[in-house]
Amino acid sequence: MYRLDNDKVCLSEPSWNFVDGKPKTLKAEMPLPNHDLYLEKNADIAFVIYKDYPTAPKHNDGGQDKVSLWEDILQLPDPNSESIKLISTKMRNALQAYLKLVPEFPRYFPGFNVEAELFAPYKFWYYSRPFFANLLGKLEAQHRGLMELLSEWIEANYRSHYQEADTKLAEGLVTAKYLDYLVRPGEVLVSYDNDQFHAYICESWPYGKESDSKIENAAKPEEKTFITTCSVDCWAWCPDDAFHKLERTLHLRIKTKDPAEAIRIQELQVYPLKYASMEVEVTLRTRGLTHWSFRNARLVEYEGERYGSSTLDGKRFMVDFQMYKLLHPEAFSAIKKQSRDSEGGKAGQISEETGPSGDEIYLFPSRVKGFSFRSKKWIELQVDNIRDVQWHKKAFENLVIAPKSKEIIEALITTQLAAEKSTDIILGKGNGLIMLLHGGPGTGKTFTAETVAEFAEKPLYRVTCGDIGTKPEAVEQYLESVLYLGKTWGCLVLLDEADVFLEERGLQDLERNALVSVFLRVLEYYDGILILTSNRVGTFDEAFKSRIQLALHYQALTAPQRKKIWRNFMAWLKDMGESYAVDLEDISDNLDELARHQMNGRQIRNSITTARQLAKFRKKAMSYDDLEHVISVAGEFDKYLTKVREGLSDENIARADGRR
């Protein structure tokens, strides 16, 4: 049957209606006055095929010659759509019985209704046809005959269509004609966006197929680009702790110079995962496993990306959904608005015991928020660049301090770590470990804290006086937040340059007295590991003596200590693969000469950095001469200061002022 504007039904193909000698509209041939009555009287009809036409189709009616005009008149336009309507109850029952036998049919066609019109190209049959021969014999005789009738008509009209689609897809190719055969519900789709692959579960067959053409180069109007698109509904996991489903509509899009041109499926922006390379599959699976590990707070290491003007390579971050949600609830509110709950209206949480099931492992977001211990900010990280933390255990061995001091530090840290694992801890005061490291700049105080964190396998949370501020109310709030995070994440907290909080209280400066009191009160109940560093221990408040378990003094480096530091830096350059840019043999032969210079650890490091840049500028490997040149130039300033101070060193002046 033929329908015009989904209203007028006729038994014969429509024909052109001429206006002023030109075909303008289509008119019905052998129209049915009462379509429903006709079907009722012909109860033996199993199914009807409808072909739908618009009354006023688009056709080429301007500027053509007589031959092309008559071709236009004789040739009807293609129907807008075609559909099958199952008329008899027996036919509907037969199809229903058959589809119940087709494996996973409800998964791919949820809500399929035999009462509704079934539209071409009949995806339900395309999916089920490979099973037809084996399943036909399992049907009742009456159902079998009706299904053979339906099969014969569809196969006669669409077999070549289906076969060509299968052939193209099997070759990893697709054309605009078969774009909507590329995807089926339940499949994993990959989308390449912003230099990242993202994965989704498809929930629909492609729909809304549209084709268009445009001229991209005005200088060549004859060269058109043909674009065909269709849409699919899909979902992926939200970037939150509850793993809600985030719905999205993706668009399959093919762009060619010829409508019949076939392109590789992998060239599409969106395509099924089964056509992707093994590398893409491994990347998505690894991302999913990594993301799943974030259900609990996790310290991670990062590589390969810049953030603003600084690199994140080698930096450490804490990924903690619960903490981020606590501190930034507004971010999760925005996420929740975009998401939906899973089956039954409950949050789409993944089972803690089994983890993501099947293809769900591919659906995790490509980015996650991580707390930077350096910038004290939550930064968006690419999950693919996240790695396990590599602890530098040798750093503590290379620490250049007195052996007896190193032994005490190791003993205290080891005991504290054992205590943290034990459940036999007295509630209240005194369960933490607080150490004070005092001495001149560059003597190794901060490096000690860094190496202890590596030895203890704990994240280092470093804060300075500048981070905390000097107003008592703000100081208390900031310190409490730092120590709360430090305890929650098992950090080693380093309060660097803590002089202002350790100074002795007096009667004149009441605000500073309040600052010291706040600091004392906050430390009172902290039960983690806290290291304080100071240059001004000479003005130390007595109340801190009972709070600090170990205080170590760092004296100016001796020549043997400086030699060891020089040797450690050379070993580090070698481990970093920089030996090609450094004449290690030449420098090693002159370590005694380098150690004679009165330098602290920071000055030694700065000298090496500057000498490397100088050698690079000179287009040569860094040698002992480069180091001596840099030390000599930098030493001119130190000589000037010594002359101004009448021969007194920084250490002498600090002692004279009562600061050390």
* SS3 call for 173: strand
- Chain centroid, CA 380 distance in Å: 8
* Among 51, 42, 47, residue whose Cα is nearest residue 9: 51
Rg (CA), the chain: 39
Phi, psi of 434 (to 5 degrees): -120, 125
pLDDT for 598-610, tens place per residue? 888 889 999 999 9
Q: Where are the beta strands (DSSP E) in 497-647?
A: 529-534, 550-554
Residue 376: CB partners within 8 Å, gap ≥ 6?
Answer: 463, 467
Spatial separation of the C-alpha atoms in residues 456 and 417, rounded to whole Å = 7
Spatial separation of the C-alpha atoms in residues 428 and 526, rounded to whole Å = 9
pTM score: 0.77
Task: Kindly tell me the sign of the dihedral angle through the C-alpha atoms of 155, 158, 160, 162.
Answer: negative
* Among 573, 571, 482, residue whose Cα is nearest residue 532: 482
pLDDT, residue 280, reads 96
Within 422-554, residue ranges assigned H as helices are 445-456, 465-468, 472-488, 499-502, 510-524
Residue 164: CB partners within 8 Å, gap ≥ 6?
Answer: 178
Which DSSP state fits 351?
P
Angle, CA of 315, 316 and 319, to the nearest 5°: 135
Q: Name which of 118-127, 223-232, 273-282 the model is least confident about.
A: 223-232
Residue 9 burial (CB count, 10 A): 21
pLDDT, residue 510, reads 66
* Among 51, 25, 145, residue whose Cα is nearest residue 95: 145
Q: Are 325 and 241 in contact (CB under 8 A)?
A: yes
Spatial separation of the C-alpha atoms in residues 246 and 250, rounded to whole Å = 12
- Report residue 140 as tokens: 């009742």
Question: Is it the case that residue 268 has pLDDT exceeding 90?
Answer: yes
Q: What is the mean pLDDT of residues 406-425?
A: 78
pLDDT for 328-351, tens place per residue? 887 766 555 555 543 333 345 566
Question: Is it the case that residue 651 has pLDDT exceeding 60?
Answer: no
Q: Where along the chain do its domains lie?
A: 2-166, 171-294+301-380, 394-554, 559-656
pLDDT, residue 346, reads 36
pLDDT for 145-179, tens place per residue? 999 999 999 999 999 999 999 999 999 999 999 99
pLDDT for 521-539, tens place per residue? 877 778 889 998 888 666 6
Place of tokens 């099969």: 151
Residue 286 burial (CB count, 10 A): 14
Angle, CA of 169, 174 and 176, to the nearest 5°: 140
pLDDT, residue 128, reads 95
Q: What is the mean pLDDT of residues 54-66?
A: 57
Q: Where are the beta strands (DSSP E) in 483-584?
A: 492-496, 529-534, 550-554
Place of tokens 């791919």: 108
Residue 302, amino acid: Y
Spatial separation of the C-alpha atoms in residues 217 and 225, rounded to whole Å = 10
Residue 317 burial (CB count, 10 A): 24
* Among 324, 176, 317, 197, residue whose Cα is nearest residue 257: 176
Residue 504 burial (CB count, 10 A): 13
Q: Where are the beta strands (DSSP E) in 289-393?
A: 298-302, 306-307, 310-311, 316-319, 339-340, 367-372, 378-382, 386-387
Q: Are 114 and 95 in contact (CB under 8 A)?
A: yes
Q: Which fold has domain 394-554?
A: Rossmann fold (3.40.50)
* Among 601, 654, 594, residue whose Cα is nearest residue 630: 594
pLDDT for 195-229, tens place per residue? 889 999 999 999 988 888 776 665 666 678 899 99
- Chain centroid, CA 505 distance in Å: 50
Q: Name which of 138-142, 220-224, 291-295 the model is least confident about.
A: 220-224
Could you tell me which residue, 362 or 468, shows the higher pLDDT?
362
Long-range contacts of 376-384 (CB under 8 A, 24+ apart): 376/463, 376/467, 378/324, 378/327, 378/328, 379/307, 379/312, 379/317, 381/300, 381/302, 381/305, 381/312, 381/317, 381/319, 382/196, 382/305, 383/287, 383/290, 383/291, 384/196, 384/283, 384/286, 384/287
Cα→Cα distances 642→127, 610, 654, Å: 89, 23, 14
- Which of 270-284, 372-386, 460-474 shows the highest mean pLDDT? 270-284
The residues facing 199 across adjacent strands are 190
pLDDT, residue 59, reads 53
Within 263-328, residue ranges assigned H as helices are 278-292, 321-327
Residue 438: CB partners within 8 Å, gap ≥ 6?
Answer: 445, 533, 534, 535, 537, 551, 552, 553, 554, 660
Spatial separation of the C-alpha atoms in residues 627 and 441, rounded to whole Å = 21
pLDDT, residue 554, reads 86
Residue 421: CB partners within 8 Å, gap ≥ 6?
Answer: none
